[in-house]
Amino acid sequence: MIEFLPLFMFLAVCLVILLGYPVAFSLAGIALIFAAFGTAIGHFDMAFLQALPNRLYGTMINQTLVAIPLFVLMGIMLEKSRLAEDLLNNMAQLFGKVRGGLGISVVMVGALLAASTGIVGATVVTMGLMSLPTMLKRGYNPAFAAGTICATGTLGQIIPPSIALVLLGDILSTAYAQAQLSIGIFAPKTVSVGDLFMGAVIPGLILVGCYCAYIGFYARLRPEGAPAADEQKSVETVALLSSLAPPMLLIIAVLGSILSGIATPTEAAGVGAFGASLLALVRRQLSLQRLQEVLEGTVEVTAMVFMILIGAAIFSLVFRGFGGEELVTSMFASIPGGAVGATLAVMVVIFILGFILDFIEITFVVVPIVGPALLAMGVDPIWLGIMIAVNLQTSFLTPPFGFALFYLRGVAPKEVLTSDIYRGVMPYIAIQLGVLLLLALWPNLVTWLPGKMQ
């Protein structure tokens, strides 16, 4: 039983988080309790915790993590500037004559918003407040409308510059180095956040295309559930371009500089934060009060992320001190199917954990545990990162605990029932599982672009 203490510690953390305790303090508290117990029975060496100051200092000087507050500031600033609202109105008028046109507009604007904010909760709430009342007013089926908004909101998980990909890139970089050292490679290759951004481009576009195709199919099959606009207003080209050009230019500046190698993700995040602030200023949406709201929101999200990171650092040290890495490696080795079987088992576990844990907790707790073992078995780190991101995106939609469902439930009108939201996301869950299977069968959909850009 003693050798299974790392697994008991992991289960204890999940239980404490389910009880509602803060994640960061749950990770650190449970780890320290188990460390004290392990020391008392002579099964844990407290010297492992002496590495904590070095871990925290490494976090403080980690240039990649500086991108997090900058990307968060960029997203909140764009949200406060009401850019997405103007864009949605103009796109809805552009596609107004088409059945399901408003739904397609929601997906397109949601994809741009996801590429601008990178935060799932912010995208779902923003799109829910902006588009759900409009869709219901135009006669859209409540379940279909709610499902479309929830699915669109989760695009922030996979479309770069995603906060999830920034965190995954940093964790996978460390895991990849550990995996190569464990098999005797002392000049390890590296994987960066930019590599994950490049790997996510094609899967993100595939998801957007599949969403739009489903909306078109639904509108043809059930035209009363996704009607065209009763009266079509003409769209002025100048108005459309004025709402479309700013976010597109900002996204091109941020992603283009990363993909072309001109800037690191952190430098590009600085460009994005400055560009978003400039747009808000030009649109006369940047008052002192709004600036204070943006900065306070940025500090809150950043503090949450880094507190969880500190708790995860303590947890990983204690987990390693109990021999958890060797236990996970031996468990993977016993799974039939080698690397394929082990990867499938990890994907199932992450999918289930996505019901109860946020992507930040899973990234900081689960990935450092399973990542080195999988990567040592020869799994491509970029492909693994994108598979985890799409997997988490799917679990965020899955009833009854999907985070995106709770976000939308909090802002949806009373006439939209919880059962409507659950029914509406089912087709999108099937689409995402199909894309996940597609990426599993054809890994080149993920690895081709990073290979070309390198």
Between CA 442 and CA 342 the distance in angstroms is 18
Cis previous bond, 381, omega within 30: no
Residue 373 CA to residue 276 CA, distance in Å, equals 40
- How many Å separate Cα 168 from the centre of its chain? 9
Closest CA to 251 of 78, 371, 384, 95: 78
Per-residue pLDDT, 235? 58
Report DSSP letters for 187-231, one per residue: S-----HHHHHHHHHHHHHHHHHHHHHHHHHHHHH-GGGSPPPSS
Task: Please name which of 401, 404, 402, 422 lies closest in space to residue 156, comparing C-alpha atoms.
Answer: 404
Percent of the chain with pLDDT over 70: 93
What does the alpha-carbon distance between residue 7 and residue 329 come to, in Å, rounded to a whole number? 13
Residue range 256-279, pLDDT digits in tens: 887 777 888 888 888 888 888 888
416/389 Cα distance (integer angstroms): 29
Whether the bond between 400 and the residue before it is cis, its omega within 30 degrees of 0, is yes
Q: Collapsing DSSP states into helix, strand and coil, what is residue 111?
A: helix
More confident residue, 32 or 233: 32
Instruction: Output b/e per residue, 175-200; b: 16+ Cβ within 10 A.
Output: bbbbbbeeeeeeeeeebbbbbbbbbb
442 pLDDT above the threshold of 90: yes
pLDDT band at 430 (very low <50, low <70, confident <90, very high): very high
- In the predicted model, is pLDDT for residue 431 greater than 90? yes
- Which of 209, 25, 227 has the alpha carbon at shortest distance from 141? 227
State the number of CA atoms in the 13 A half-sphere of 276 facing the CB. Answer: 29
**52-61, 196-205, 242-251: which has the highest mean pLDDT?**
196-205
Mean pLDDT, residues 447-451 = 88
What local confidence, expressed as pLDDT, does residue 237 receive?
A: 65
pLDDT tens per residue, range 322-350? 887 777 778 777 888 888 888 898 898 88
Report the alpha-carbon distance of residue 86 to residue 283 in Å, rounded.
Answer: 11
pLDDT tier, 214 (very low <50, low <70, confident <90, very high otherwise)? very high
Q: Are 212 and 104 a contacting pair, CB within 8 Å?
A: yes
- The answer, yes or no, to whether residue 118 has pLDDT greater than 60, is no
- Give every CB contact of residue 70 below 8 A, 6+ residues apart in sequence: 266, 269, 270, 272, 273
Confidence of residue 401 (pLDDT cuts 50, 70, 90): low
> What does the block give as tokens for 81?
């500037």
Residue 382: the pLDDT is 92
Q: What is the dihedral of CA 318, 319, 322, 325, to 10 degrees?
A: -140
What span, in angstroms and rounded, lies between the C-alpha atoms of 111 and 123? 9
Assess contact for 430 and 217: CB atoms under 8 A: no
Mean pLDDT along residues 315-322: 84
Closest CA to 130 of 143, 157, 149, 155: 149
Helix (H) / strand (E) element for 96: namely none
CA distance 57 to 313: 11
Tokens matching residue 121: 């909760």
Per-residue pLDDT at 363 = 83
| Strand, coil or helix: 185 | coil
**pLDDT tens for residues 125-155?**
777 877 888 888 888 899 999 999 889 888 8
Long-range contacts of 283-289 (CB under 8 A, 24+ apart): 283/81, 283/82, 283/83, 285/80, 285/81, 285/82, 286/77, 286/81
CA distance 215 to 433: 17
CA 261 to chain centre: 23
Instruction: Identify the sign of the CA torsion 20, 357, 120, 312.
Output: positive
Which structure tokens are listed for 426? Answer: 């089912």
**Residue 289 buriedness (CB in 10 A; 0-12 / 13-18 / 19+):** exposed
pLDDT over 80 at 2, yes or no: no
pLDDT tier, 121 (very low <50, low <70, confident <90, very high otherwise): low
pLDDT level of residue 284 (50, 70, 90 thresholds):
confident
Tell me the per-residue pLDDT of 11-33, one tens digit each, with 9 for 90 and over. 888 788 778 788 788 888 998 99
* Look-up of token digits 């965190």: 167
Cα distance between residue 80 and residue 280, in whole Å: 8
Q: Which of 57-71, 171-185, 374-388, 396-410 has the lowest mean pLDDT?
A: 396-410
What would the two tokens of residue 415 be? 């006439």
Cis peptide before 372 (omega within 30 of 0): no
